[in-house]
Structure 1
């Protein structure tokens, strides 16, 4: 009689890694909200490696782990207040979005969200254009197009991944409106980080959902995420 497959030893790390990620999120958000620079400086670089570790412990696909680690590259560069660091950080996130797009496969997406996302992209770029430095207009337009495509395609893995893509778009939109000197919410950096970490977590859970992984990004087979810790 077969005893069945042996458990993967990595799975024992899933719970502590996810817990550590959530703790790091709380520390970072508290640091941003209270303007405690050292808390943000220490916690932010830990976020994506911890989430990537959780994805690896859950035997997630390599493209997901790569997307999260490229997000870490973006996070680290954006800690520096310099134009070159901003562009390098944006390049890191852009590469992560390419990983997500490859991960979502070729499953068909609904037409209505495509129209809505396209309208949001055009309106948003028109809104921020005049407030952006001239040398950032083209890079930000290209990045925004890539991010919008990722957010739209995330829907093939169900509502959680779709929400993650939309939150990622919102988070980066808040950053762009700050660069363009448009009106901001109170504590804007808090909302940027809150929507960002929620986006990455929801995208990760959407990709790790057993039904989504079996289906190869077939939206018809998706039944919701499995948060296995």
Structure 2
């Protein structure tokens, strides 16, 4: 994707402004404003990614997030499952992005000796969360939520390939979706739960996108051909 630096900065400011308006609307209880701004967040961030020359799959992950954001506002179990499916498709896009980057990116690599320990930690986090939520989830949502949680955790673990910023984004996504699941299970909620869900979600998507862009930029800088050294006496007449 050809970078368009002149367009990137205004899009970033637009995303920041939309985020501020949306979160402010949640705090103020302005439901109509929150409903209008929520579906606009990820498309603007996707446009920013493309303006930075980011991969189309990364923009696709964000647009699938927009689909999930929109569907989850409608309500109802069937629509909720469709929204979860849209988010799941976004996680698949992220996993493909991370797989293409592999260990060849410019991000700080995770030492091989730590990989097994990290995988075990993410696995324990998944198992513990699902086990705690399972008895309190509606019966028809237990299997879909467990399957989605597995994919989400795989995405969060895969984000380690793109560096610490992307890894933080993966963990924030886990936090945001756990807050949603705890609401489905009718656990006690924080005051203004939608605010905390969206704050962690928007931060997650931004950290994931920015982390991938930084890793790609570092790779491009490292692999760019270097100018050939000048030969002794070159240019002397």
* Range class of TM-score, shorter chain: 0.7 to 0.9
Question: Residues 212, 175 of structure 1: CA spacing in aligned structure 2 closer, same or farther, 3 A cutoff?
Answer: farther
Q: Is the 8 A contact 1:207 1:213 kept in 2?
A: no
Deviation of residue 213 (structure 1)?
6.0
Question: Residues 83, 212 of structure 1: CA spacing in aligned structure 2 closer, same or farther, 3 A cutoff?
Answer: farther
- 1:128 corresponding residue in structure 2: 133
Structure 1, residues 70-91: CA drift from partner, whole Å, max 9, x if none? 1110011011111111111100
Is the aligned partner of 1:16 residue 2:21? no
- 1:157 corresponding residue in structure 2: 162
Q: Is the 8 A contact 1:160 1:205 kept in 2?
A: yes
Structure 1, residues 22-54: CA drift from partner, whole Å, max 9, x if none? 111111111111211011111101100000000
Question: Residues 201, 119 of structure 1: CA spacing in aligned structure 2 closer, same or farther, 3 A cutoff?
Answer: same
Q: Is the 8 A contact 2:72 2:79 kept in 1?
A: yes
Is the aligned partner of 1:211 residue 2:218? yes
Deviation of residue 97 (structure 1)?
0.2
Is the aligned partner of 1:196 residue 2:190? no
Deviation of residue 134 (structure 1)?
0.7
Q: Is the 8 A contact 1:151 1:166 kept in 2?
A: yes
- 1:53 corresponding residue in structure 2: 47
In terms of Rg, which structure is larger? 2
Find the aligned partners of 1:48 and 1:206 in 2 and give their Cα distance: 16
Structure 1, residues 84-118: CA drift from partner, whole Å, max 9, x if none? 11111100000000000011014486222211111
Q: Which runs of 5+ in 2 are unaligned?
A: 104-108, 224-237
Q: Give 3-state SS (helix, strand or coil) of 2:187's partner.
A: coil
- 1:184 corresponding residue in structure 2: 189
Q: Give 3-state SS (helix, strand or coil) of 1:59's partner.
A: coil
Find the aligned partners of 1:54 and 1:147 in 2 and give their Cα distance: 24
Q: Give 3-state SS (helix, strand or coil) of 1:171's partner.
A: helix
Q: Is the 8 A contact 2:3 2:53 kept in 1?
A: no
TM-score calculated relative to the size of structure 2: 0.84
Find the aligned partners of 2:185 and 2:134 in 1 and give their Cα distance: 8
Q: 2:147 aligns with which of 142, 145, 169?
A: 142
Structure 1, residues 178-206: CA drift from partner, whole Å, max 9, x if none? 00011211211111000000000000101
- The count of corresponding residues between Structure 1 and Structure 2 is 209
Q: Which runs of 4+ in 1 moved over 4 A?
A: 212-216
